[in-house]
Amino acid sequence: MAIPSVLFVCMGNICRSPVVEAVARAEFARAGFPAQVASAGTHGYHIGDGADPRAIASARAAGYDVSRHRAAQVDAATLGGFDAVLVMDRVNLRDIARYCSGAKPASPQLFLPYAGIDDGEEVPDPYYGTAQDFERVIELARAGVLGLIRRGRLGA
């Protein structure tokens, strides 16, 4: 049986999605949940750049490593290679539709509903925020990833 794969998507791939990717990689391994994880952005603003230093610091403080991350932009070929495509907010969920033409990806979905918390359905973008906003992304990432593990599978 093939190992399932999940792509986490945000706008620039330097704050939210790389943090969720790092949390997923670590928590999936701890739980013995086999999955391949990656992240990308809907926009090419930061292709090749590392994660935002504030994302690196907040992740490190919580025990996760995003220091080797390099931003990538999603495209139809990328989408077609994943069993699940989980997006951080509605704007990027809408934007990702333009990359689906010609691809056969899993139907993109919002990530946060997997957290099972009553905190909206979006992971808020911390880019223009404070250190506490980046810490909140870690909390939401952990809750969503643990929800995926409880669910026990990825994809449809």
16 is catalytic: yes
Whether residue 28 contacts residue 35, with contact meaning beta carbons closer than 8 Å, is answered with yes
Locate 22 and state its tokens.
Answer: 């790092």
Per DSSP, which regions of 36-156 are E strands? 36-41, 84-87, 109-110
15 is catalytic: no
- Residue 120's region, left for phi above 0, alpha for psi from -120 to 50, else beta, is left
**Per annotation, catalytic residue among 15, 52, 125, 142:** 125
**Per annotation, catalytic residue among 16, 25, 54, 142:** 16
Amino acid at 120: G
Locate 84 and state its tokens.
Answer: 């699940």
d(CA 137, CA 51): 14
**Per annotation, catalytic residue among 10, 52, 83, 95:** 10
52 is catalytic: no
Catalytically annotated residues: 10, 16, 125
